[in-house]
Amino acid sequence: MIALVTGGTDGIGKAVALELAKQGAQVIIVGRNAQKGEHALSDIRAQAPNTTITYRQADLSLMREVNGLAEWVKSTYPPLNLLVHSAGVMLPRKTLTTEGLETVFAVQYFARYWLNMNLLSHFAPDARVINISAGGTMPIKLHVDNINSQKLYHGVYTLMHESVANDVMTLRLIRTHPHIRFYGYGPFYVKTNLFSNMPFFFKLYSNVFGSLMAGTPERSARDVMNLATGEYEAGLYARNCKRIMPNKHRADVHLQDELYTATENLIQMALRHG
């Protein structure tokens, strides 16, 4: 198995990469911090000494770097069997990338979609793509006219909103590319560094809540491995691989296609801007 894991230097992504390495997969981990990347390689090799694992530095908030990553993968490796999207960020204030995209959506939605599109021709038969986000569990609707935070930004809301966007796009990809198994997986609250940029009192509340409700990256990684290797139908899944049937809003084909058009337009804008 050849597996690509974004956000593979920390949190759930790193735990997934370790499990893949232990099972003998050839693993590529992606992150923007070279020092964290080298530390992750050392940690994983220490626990899976016979693994073949590579780190690739890329800033996935930038669509031109997503392009570069995809081209490198296609020129370096045979077709992929597995792509796991785990890179994430949460910010208290709205920021824009140099390409004009809102940063949270750029990393956790646009980059995931764009990497999928760039690698479509490089997936092995029956490849699987696992998008670690919400898995159909967020109780809000998608507002396509706000996927670049054009109208509203709030740290918590925007994180929830991109999760819904990922769910809706996952359902469209299942519909339009049935030869690939696309999964949306929502691990609920997990003890990671996702909240490291948030204000002190938010992190304090999160730590208290997390002590009662949070899962671990290792627990989430087991779910991801089950989706990657088990006989699960493409779709949305929550913690413990519980199948979540999409509500009427997410299942709306017109909404899915509207999101696709808006996404393509914004990415092309970003590439011109960059």
| Cβ neighbours for 116, distance < 8 A, ≥ 6 positions apart | 83, 129, 173
Structural domains of the chain in order of their starting residue, each with its CATH number: 2-273 (3.40.50.720)
Average pLDDT over residues 122-144: 91
Distance CA 235, CA 181 (A): 8
pLDDT tens digits along 57-103: 999 999 999 999 999 999 999 999 999 999 888 777 899 999 999 99
| Neighbour tally for 114: CB within 10 Å | 22
What does pLDDT average to over the chain? Answer: 89
- For residue 116, what pLDDT is reported? 98
pLDDT tens digits along 162-206: 999 999 999 999 999 999 999 999 887 655 555 455 444 444 444
Asked if the model's pLDDT at residue 115 lies above 60, the reply is yes
